[in-house]
Chain A
Amino acid sequence: DGGITQSPKYLFRKEGQNVTLSCEQNLNHDAMYWYRQDPGQGLRLIYYSQIVNDFQKGDIAEGYSVSREKKESFPLTVTSAQKNPTAFYLCASSILRGRGTGELFFGEGSRLTVL
């Protein structure tokens, strides 16, 4: 079953703790993305990666970090420096070239709650 798998679906963390959200894809896509979704604000881009071992900041990268050691995996770490981490996080992937650009394939999301 091809697609994007995010884990965990729900996560609780105490203030001051780092937490890592997993994102795996088996679509053989080169590009992967992390978005944050807050009520009334739509989706905002945190980080994206076009190739292994390379990634770029999005619009709201502060307090987050990522890695891209494998094509299939793009984990997101929410650090203690993120001032308002409680949110719904969406991972996505896409091809880089050709007619299908612009089509993002999304995971089911991870809901992080900071207590």
Chain B
Amino acid sequence: AQRVTQPEKLLSVFKGAPVELKCNYSYSGSPELFWYVQYSRQRLQLLLRHISRESIKGFTADLNKGETSFHLKKPFAQEEDSAMYYCALKRDTGTASKLTFGTGTRLQVTL
């Protein structure tokens, strides 16, 4: 069965400090991993996907199949990064985007 694990419920960092939000997954098929973000009073939205290998708002994430991880990183945290972050795994079944979500990590960036 597929599973996504985010071990930290809350991560508190100072502004300017590096950020790493952890995500591990278990899945027997070919995984597609995503990070979704929910800012205060906003809808849940896609932040980035591993296929694109892009940097969004300074965040990057590399899929490590050996360690089955997809950690989200940013070298210097900003106040506006404070939000709830969800790691998600797309199951390789059919064409629908059936995502399995982790339990989420709240990032708190303080001055």
A and B, one complex? yes
A-B CB pair tally, cutoff 8 Å? 62
A101 touches B102 (CB 8 A): no
Q: Which residues of B are found within 8 Å of A40, using beta-carbon distances?
A: 9, 103
A25 close to B (CB within 8 Å): no
Using C-beta atoms within 8 Å of the partner chain, give the interface range for chain B: 20 to 34
Q: Which residues of B are found within 8 Å of A48, using beta-carbon distances?
A: 96, 98
**Which B residue's beta carbon lies closest to that of A45?**
B98
Q: How many residues of A contact B (CB 8 A)?
A: 25
B98 touches A103 (CB 8 A): no
Q: Which residues of B are found within 8 Å of A104, using beta-carbon distances?
A: 36, 44, 46, 97, 99
Q: Determine chain A's interface SS by DSSP, over half rule.
A: strand
Q: Which residues of B are found within 8 Å of A107, using beta-carbon distances?
A: 43
B96 touches A96 (CB 8 A): yes
A110 close to B (CB within 8 Å): no
Chain B interfacial positions (CB closer than 8 Å to A): 4, 9, 32, 34, 36, 43-46, 49, 51, 86, 90, 94-104
Chain A interfacial positions (CB closer than 8 Å to B): 31, 33, 35, 40-45, 48, 50, 56, 58, 90, 94, 96-97, 101-108
Contact sample, A vs B, 8 pairs, CB 8 Å cutoff: A31-B95, A31-B97, A33-B98, A41-B103, A43-B86, A102-B90, A106-B43, A106-B45
